[in-house]
Amino acid sequence: MNFTLNVLGTASALPTTERYPSAQVLNVRGRLFMIDCGEGAQIQMRKAGISFLKIEHICLSHIHGDHIFGLFGLLSTMAMLGRTAPLNIYAPSAFSPILQFLLQQFGEGFLYEVKHIVLDMTEPVIVYENRRTELLAFPLNHRVDTYGFIIREKMPQHNVHKEAIAKYGLSIAEIGALKRGEDVVRPEGVIPNSEAAYIPFVPRSYAYCSDTAPFPELTTWVKGVTVLYHESTFPAEMEEMAAKTYHSTTMQAAQTALDAGVGKLLVGHYSSRFPSVDFFLDELRSIFPNTELAHDMDVVEI
């Protein structure tokens, strides 16, 4: 069951020869969610072998160029490839005139509908769901309206042990109750759900937080996610610069992960001031040991 992250870009503001601007694709059971679409995203997708036409949803955190400049090319390529399936784009209201301009100037050959789902919330809200997956958006703390995202699997139905069916002579109604996580109550006693059924897998979750300065609510909103991607634009010594630009340092990202009790921290969105950010890792792990630096073209199994 796929839950795989392709990191396409890890730069902030200015691309470098080693780092493209922010863009990711998350494969959840074969459904593709793109998160941010910086310049060169479709080139990186080509390298990674990701199908343009299989992207169903694009999540844009905010309307800064390093997070959206790849969108014009990508949408045009989708049209040239004959896309007909609708495309959902989750973005702040400021994206509306940009999309309107794109469609007016370059949308003549588009055979597919581009739906803009406007993000305007003050706490996590489900903006899309299917039978197995939920996409949530929530506000971040940046210079313009900015949103983070959580993509998570829903809790699966319980499976019933075959031995329990035979042992207790379970009826169809009783099996249904066990699958819903309930106990079976009979006149002669209770059959505990914990004895007769089990959860087939623990739901996985991925949170994306870029760009943002720290703020108290964030740790509650991303609490316990399997993997947290958090911007780490600057090292600890540049905390003043981070505050001025509404970004986060290594230590702030790590503290958020620690306070939220996440499974793993993945950081990116590095300042172009630093050709190498390897030294970031010691700072991050001093607070949250299970931290990794994201690199362009990384593939992360969640």
Alpha helices, DSSP H, located in 93-238: 95-106, 162-168, 172-179, 193-196, 217-221
pLDDT on residue 57: 98
Cα gap 159→84, rounded to integer Å? 38
- Is 205 in contact with 124 (CB distance < 8 Å)? no
Burial of 166 (C-beta count, 10 Å sphere; 0-12/13-18/19+)? exposed
Average pLDDT over residues 3-7: 98
Q: Is the pLDDT of residue 247 over 90?
A: yes
List all residues 6 or more positions away from 195 whose beta carbon is below 8 Å from its beta carbon.
Answer: 164
Amino acid at position 121, single letter: M
Nearest CA to 21 out of 3, 36, 1 is that of 36
Q: Is the pLDDT of residue 111 over 90?
A: yes
List all residues 6 or more positions away from 124 whose beta carbon is below 8 Å from its beta carbon.
Answer: 136, 137, 138, 150, 221
pLDDT on residue 189: 86
pLDDT on residue 200: 86
pLDDT on residue 121: 98
Q: Which of 66, 259, 282, 298 is catalytic?
A: 66
Q: Is the pLDDT of residue 100 over 90?
A: yes
Residues 178-210: pLDDT tens digits?
A: 899 999 999 888 998 989 998 888 899 999 999
Ranges of beta strands (E only) in 181-277 are 184-186, 189-191, 197-198, 205-209, 227-231, 264-268
Q: Is the pLDDT of residue 217 over 90?
A: yes
| Share above pLDDT 90 across residues of the chain, in percent, rounded to a whole number | 88
3-state secondary structure of 277: coil
Average pLDDT over residues 147-153: 98
pLDDT on residue 142: 98
Instruction: Tell me the whole-structure pTM to 2 decimals.
Output: 0.93
CATH superfamily of 3-156+201-301: Ribonuclease Z/Hydroxyacylglutathione hydrolase-like (3.60.15.10)
- Mean pLDDT rounded to a whole number for the chain: 96
Active site residue 211: no
| Share above pLDDT 70 across residues of the chain, in percent, rounded to a whole number | 100
pLDDT on residue 148: 98
- Is 142 in contact with 245 (CB distance < 8 Å)? no
Residues 249-302: pLDDT tens digits?
A: 999 999 999 999 999 999 999 999 999 999 999 999 999 999 999 999 999 999
pLDDT on residue 175: 87
Nearest CA to 38 out of 167, 232, 162, 211 is that of 211
Query: What is the b/e burial string over 9-43, where b = at least 16 CB atoms within 10 angstroms of the residue's CB?
Result: bbbbbebeeebbbbbbbbbbeebbbbbbbbbbbbe
* Domain boundaries, given as residue ranges, for the chain: 3-156+201-301, 159-198
Strand partners, 185: 190
Rg of the chain (C-alpha set): 22
pLDDT on residue 201: 86
